[in-house]
Amino acid sequence: MKKIIFFNSLGRKLEEFKPLIDGYVSLYCCGPTVYSFATLGNFRTYIFEDFLRRTLEYNNYQVNHVMNITDVGHLTGDNLGDANIGLDKVEEAANKEKKTVYDLTQFYIDSFLKDSSALNILKPKVIPKATDHIQEQINMIKKLLELGYAYQIEDGIYFDISKWKEYGKLSGQKLNEKLAGARIEVKGGKKNAYDFALWKFSPKDVVRQMEWDSPWGKGFPGWHIECSAMSIKYLGEHFDIHCGGADHIAVHHENEIAQSEASTGKTFANYWMHGEFMMVDGNRMGKSQGNAYLVSDLIEKGLNPLAFRYLTMNTHYRIQLNFTWQGVQAANTALNRLFNNILALKKIVGGVKGEINLNFKEKFLNSINNDLNMAEALSVVWDTLKSNLSDEDKLATLIDFDLVLGLGLKDLEEEEIEITPEIEELLYSRKLAREKKDFKEADNIRNQLKSLGVNVVDGPDGQKLERIT
Ligand code: AMP
Ligand code: ZN
C-alpha cells in the first residue's frame, strides 16, 4: 500500500496512517442534528469526509463508514461546553413546526440524504439514529457510574471530568486549568463547570415528546454519549478514524474520548480529523447564526450543486473557507469547462477505451495521500487534460481520478439544449438573414443567442446549437 499522511488532531501533527487491521479502515463521522436543513457549512465537512473515504478506497482499503443521526439530546447550550443549559434542539423545532419529533426528524433526514446525493457524497455504510440506541447509551452510563466516573444529581447524571486525568488531550487544554479557570458558573449541583450530561431527567413541568425509562428515572440521553455508544457498537471499542467539524474538538470530541476511554479502558480512536469552517464575512456559517445557505439555494440560482463540491477542493480542509456567490459562480464555470473537455473527449473516443496513465496517477495519489491535498489533485487533473497523452488515455485517466473527485465524469452526457420559442424565433430570423446574405444581422442574432447561453454553429446540415460554458 502507498504511504498516506494525515493530520491527526490528537497530537496536532502529520502522521503516517496505519490501520488497525490491514486493508480495512473503521471510520466514524459525527452526523447532522436533524432539526433543520443541513447548511453548506455542514456540507463542507461532509464533503471533506467524503474525500477522505474515497481516498482510502482509492488506496484499496475497505472502509466501514458510520455516520450517526442526532435526533435527541442536542441542547442549544451543548456546543458551549455547558451541557446543563438550553432546550433540546429537536423538541424545540418540532413544537415550533407543530409536528411530532418523528415526522420532523424523518423529513430532515430525507432532505439530508437527498442533498448529500446531489453533492455526490457516498452514503455511509451504517447511519444509526440516537433514538434507536437508547439501551446502548444506558448501558454505557451504567458502566461509568459503576466505575466512579459519573454521578447523579437532581436533574441528571453527569460525567465527572476531574476523574478523567487525560481530559483535554485532544484540544490541548490542561485539566487543572480547565477545572480551576472555568469561566462558566457551576450550576445545579454539578461538581465541575465542564462536567457534561450523560442522562437528563425529564423536567417535571415540561411534557417531552421524547423520553425513556432508565434505571435512574424517566429522561433522555445527553448529546455526547450517543456517538460513543454507536461508534463502539458498529466499529468496536478501538477504531481507526473519527471525524467532525473543527467546533467539535474542544467539547464534543473531548467528551466522547473521556466517556469512551473511561468506560472501556482502551484507546478510542487512533486518528482524529477535523474540517475547518465555512465562513461568511468573518463568521461561521451556521443555522443559529442566520447566515446559512443551503443546497436548494444553489439550485435556485441555476448552479450545479457539484460546483460547491468543486469549490471546496480549492481550499485545504484545514483552512477556513469564506463563502461568496462569486466564488461558487467561478467554481461553476471551471466545472463546466471540465465537463466540456470530458464531453469532447467522449465524443472523439466513443466510450472509455484507453489506459490509465501511471505517471499522472502517481502525481494524483501523491496529492490526495498528502493529507487530502485536493487543490493539488485538481491541478493534476488540468495538467492531464493539457498533456500530450492520447485522447483515449486522457479520458481513462480522468475517469479513474473521478473515483476520488466525485464529479460524476463517468456518467456525464451531453445535455439536450431546450429550444425555447425565443431561441426558435432567433434561429429562424438568422436563417432568413443568411439567405439574404445579411451577415451583419446574422452575427447580431448570434450574439443575442449567446446571451441566452447557446452558441450557433453553421454546418452542412444548417444551424446547430452548442451550450456555452
Ligand atoms: P450539526 O448538525 O450542527 O451537529 O453539525 C454537523 C457537522 O457540521 C459537524 O461536524 C459540525 O462540526 C460541522 N459544521 C457546522 N458548521 C460548520 C461550518 N460553518 N463549516 C464547516 N463545518 C461545519
Ligand atoms: Zn459526535
**Per-residue pLDDT tens digits for 369-379:** 999 999 999 99
CA–CA distance, 273 with 50 (Å, rounded to integer): 12
The one-letter amino acid at 312: T
Which residue do the cell numbers 440560482 mark? Answer: 301
**Residues ≥6 apart with Cβ < 8 Å to 378:** 313, 314, 405
Q: What is the mean pLDDT of residues 225-239?
A: 98
Q: Which atom of ligand 1 approaches the CA of 34 most closely?
A: 2
More confident site: 170 or 91 = 170
CA–CA distance, 382 with 260 (Å, rounded to integer): 45
What's residue 83's pLDDT?
47
pLDDT band at 187 (very low <50, low <70, confident <90, very high): low
What does pTM read for this prediction?
Answer: 0.90
Q: What is the mean pLDDT of residues 324-340?
A: 96
What's residue 418's pLDDT?
79
Predicted confidence (pLDDT) at residue 383 exceeds the cutoff of 60: yes
67 three-state secondary structure: strand
- 70-82 pLDDT, tens digit per residue, is 998 787 766 555 5
What's residue 178's pLDDT?
78
What's residue 464's pLDDT?
82
Closest alpha carbon to 49 in 3, 258, 38? 38
- 171-181 pLDDT, tens digit per residue, is 998 888 878 76
What's residue 466's pLDDT?
77
**Of all helices (H) and strands (E), which one includes residue 343?**
helix 325-349
Predicted confidence (pLDDT) at residue 214 exceeds the cutoff of 50: yes
Predicted confidence (pLDDT) at residue 432 exceeds the cutoff of 80: yes
What's residue 184's pLDDT?
63
Q: What is the mean pLDDT of residues 57-65?
A: 98
Predicted confidence (pLDDT) at residue 84 exceeds the cutoff of 70: no
Mean pLDDT, rounded, of the chain = 92
Q: What is the mean pLDDT of residues 414-431?
A: 86
What's residue 327's pLDDT?
97
| Low-confidence winner among 127-141, 292-306, 357-371, 437-451 (lowest mean pLDDT) | 437-451
pLDDT band at 267 (very low <50, low <70, confident <90, very high): very high
What's residue 351's pLDDT?
81
Mutate to test the pocket of ligand 1, among 42, 44, 76, 115 (most ligand atoms within 8 A of CB): 42
Q: Which atom of ligand 1 approaches the CA of 279 most closely?
A: 19
What's residue 79's pLDDT?
56
What's residue 452's pLDDT?
81
Predicted confidence (pLDDT) at residue 288 exceeds the cutoff of 90: no
* Distance in Å, CA 224 to ligand 2 centroid: 6
Closest alpha carbon to 235 in 205, 203, 270? 270
* Distance in Å, CA 163 to ligand 2 centroid: 22
DSSP string, 94-128: HHHHT--HHHHHHHHHHHHHHHHHHTTPPPPSB--
What is the Cα 70 distance to its own chain's centre? 15
- Nearest protein CA to atom 5 of ligand 1, as residue: 32
More confident site: 152 or 208 = 152
Predicted confidence (pLDDT) at residue 97 exceeds the cutoff of 70: yes
* Distance in Å, CA 353 to ligand 1 centroid: 41
**CA atoms lying within 13 Å on the CB side of residue 359:** 7
- 112-151 pLDDT, tens digit per residue, is 999 999 999 999 999 999 999 999 999 999 999 999 999 9
